[in-house]
Structure 1
Amino acid sequence: MTAMHHFPVQATILSAGNDKTEMKSMPRVLLIGVRPEAVDLSDPSFPIGLTNEKVAAGIRATVADMRERGWEPGLCAVHPDSVEADVAKSLTEKWDCIVVGAGIRIPAGNLLLFEKIVNTIILLSPGTPIAFNTSPENSGDAAARWLDRP
């Protein structure tokens, strides 16, 4: 079963146009990462001293950063045994950008997991920008590269 978290925030912003008021939706950003308890911390790709608690704290900080940027964040915490179903469930909602976490992309042993995630996104959410972080701390910057495009 997927751990999909939808963080409630105000969904629209009112802004004054010329002589009418227009509705503008807040950007919605989905972060896809391995469930903290499922991260293989013995993998040499991860920094020494990384713990499941630090991974979870990094995710919480990422969500807070996205809120501070005025975005509506979502989290899809996948398990390696159910990754395609986990991602598919998250993609029943519309997202403006999807960030795939470094914990999925960087460890060589996660290549098949990474492929499954990217291909599921392409099949179920065509046209949605996909961004990649190098750590939870720069997930917002990764999404901004695609959200801020003209």
Structure 2
Amino acid sequence: MHGTGAVLVVGLDPVRIPGWDPEPVVKAIARGQARFEDHGIEADLCLVAPDDNPEKAIIEALARKDYACVVIGGGIRKHEPLLELFEKVINLVRQHAPGAAIAFNSTPDDTADAALRWLR
């Protein structure tokens, strides 16, 4: 791995999305983060709410350290109404972490696998 090999995971904060039970996603995110620990990879979470200035939170997270990889979660990527946010996230990563690989997970559980494709 290059540098610190740190990973930033950008996703929707399940607790801040109204109208559904966030608990299964909260648990899946925790399992996903634990898998990073199993691989000895430092992984930070940046969970955002679409209506609460997510760009600012993402820029601040990207500035914290020199990430080797940024994983963008399926909640942002797959939900059609969030297409513009997805584009913003991609462009923020390009601008604020130009050296970081960009990866996509399928579920919160396989986030470490997505990052490992680029960290190997």
Higher Rg: 1
Number of aligned positions between the proteins: 117
Provide the residue aligned with 2:14 in structure 1: 36
Q: Which runs of 5+ in 2 are unaligned?
A: none
- CA shift, 1:38, in A, is 2.9
> Once superposed, what is the RMSD of the aligned Cα atoms?
1.7
Q: 1:114 aligns with which of 56, 61, 86?
A: 86
Corresponding residue SS for 1:32: strand
Residue type at the aligned position of 1:100: I
After superposition, where does 1:82-121 map in structure 2 within 5 Å?
82-92=53-63, 93-121=65-93
Task: Determine helix, strand or coil for the equivalent of 1:130.
Answer: strand
CA contact (8 A) 2:3 2:68 kept: no
TM-score where L is the length of structure 1: 0.73
TM-score, reference length from structure 2: 0.90
Helix, strand or coil: the match of 1:74?
strand
State the one-letter code of the partner of 2:24: K
Aligned equivalents of 1:53, 1:32: Cα separation in 2: 18
Out of 10, 28, 44, the position equivalent to 1:74 is 44
Cα drift, residue 106 of structure 1: 0.5
Greater strand proportion: 1
Runs of 5+ in structure 1 lacking a partner?
1-23, 43-50
